[in-house]
Amino acid sequence: MERSLSMELVRVTEAAALSSARWMGRGKKDEADDAATSAMRDVFDTIPMKGKVVIGEGEMDEAPMLYIGEKLGNGFGPRVDVAVDPLEGTNIVAQGTWNALAVIAIADHNQLLHAPDMYMEKIAVGPEAVGEVDINASVADNLAAVAKAKNKEIEDVVAIVLNRERHEGIIEEIRAAGARIKLISDGDVAAAINTAFDDTGVDILFGSGGAPEGVLAAVALKCLGGEIQGKLIPSNDEELKRCKDMGIEDINRVLYMDDFCGGDDAIFAATGVTDGELLQGVQFKGQKATTQTVVMRAKSGTVRFIDGDHSLKKKPNLVIK
């Protein structure tokens, strides 16, 4: 992949964030998602790459654009796999809460897991705890391992978990072990990424969420030197068949970093739509808007935070009528 693609991807996520942020708190998640998706598609057409969507808004008959299998880019440049979530946290934007992101990840062709749209059990940590956790181990053992790796007491460790009924058991185990918990309503891509940044105060992610989001989180953590492990959780025969079509006969098989994202190179970019621990959301200030973006590349280990100022004078598409 070409180094210049990193900054091109920033343009993509910035456009999606600017368009969807207008819907913050308006209670209309589908409209926010459509705005982000349309903006992403428009910018993708200008990018020098031969991209193919492997994680997108759904199958072709479910999504008018950014569907799985769609070709992206202007037809020149490197051949890459593309994983997109134009608006990671549609409910977050609709409610005006924390940590909504516009997200994209790319890797060399055939290097991203074509994760089916089903639940996946996940555990994620930052660089200090790589190699110390095991998705098949108990919650208490993993908390103890992270505490040791980060030179902390267990009561100082913060686990982040989606606030869902299915996680009641995990939450009780964390509390019984004496660790602290940050419960979130949505957005486990941001949650996984936050484990790799000390300033967020998050040490480990537990629980199940979408498998496509697991791939996006894995690319970011690969760039950051972190770790994610996952196990697919098919809920019916159709989902079980999709696992087998992927070559996963044993649904208890653990997926590791190289299963999510192979090769030695990948790029991840995310722009804040609403405020979060890592990125500030879009702010509209008269005739301009500001954005914050993080972009990272696995091959070089480079992580950049980019503040953007955007003129709104010639962008009528950003105004809701």
DSSP annotation string for 104-116: EEEEETT-B----
Residue 148: helix, strand or coil by DSSP? helix
Among 46, 47, 121, which residue's Cα sits nearest to residue 80? 47
pLDDT tens digits for range 45-100: 999 999 999 999 887 777 778 999 999 999 999 999 999 999 999 999 999 999 99
Q: Is the pLDDT of residue 300 over 50?
A: yes
Place of tokens 């089916």: 116
- CA dist 93 and 16 (Å) reads 13
CATH fold label, 119-260: D-Maltodextrin-Binding Protein; domain 2 (3.40.190)
Give the pLDDT confidence score for residue 12 in this predicted structure. Answer: 97
Give the pLDDT confidence score for residue 62 in this predicted structure. Answer: 76
| Mean pLDDT (whole number) for 5-13 | 96
Give the pLDDT confidence score for residue 321 in this predicted structure. Answer: 36
> Is 303 within 8 Å of 220 (Cβ atoms)?
no
Q: Is the pLDDT of residue 315 over 80?
A: no
Domain 5-110+265-318: assigned CATH number? 3.30.540.10
Rounded to two decimals, the pTM is 0.95
Domain ranges of the chain: 5-110+265-318, 119-260
| Mean pLDDT (whole number) for 166-193 | 97
Give the pLDDT confidence score for residue 289 in this predicted structure. Answer: 97
Residues 6+ apart with CB under 8 A from 174: 139, 143, 159, 161, 181, 206
Q: Where are the alpha helices (DSSP H) in the chain?
A: 5-21, 29-44, 90-95, 139-149, 168-177, 188-194, 211-224, 237-245, 257-260
- CA dist 42 and 36 (Å) reads 10
pLDDT tens digits for range 22-37: 999 999 999 999 999 9
Give the pLDDT confidence score for residue 320 in this predicted structure. Answer: 41
Stretch (H or E) spanning 139: helix 139-149
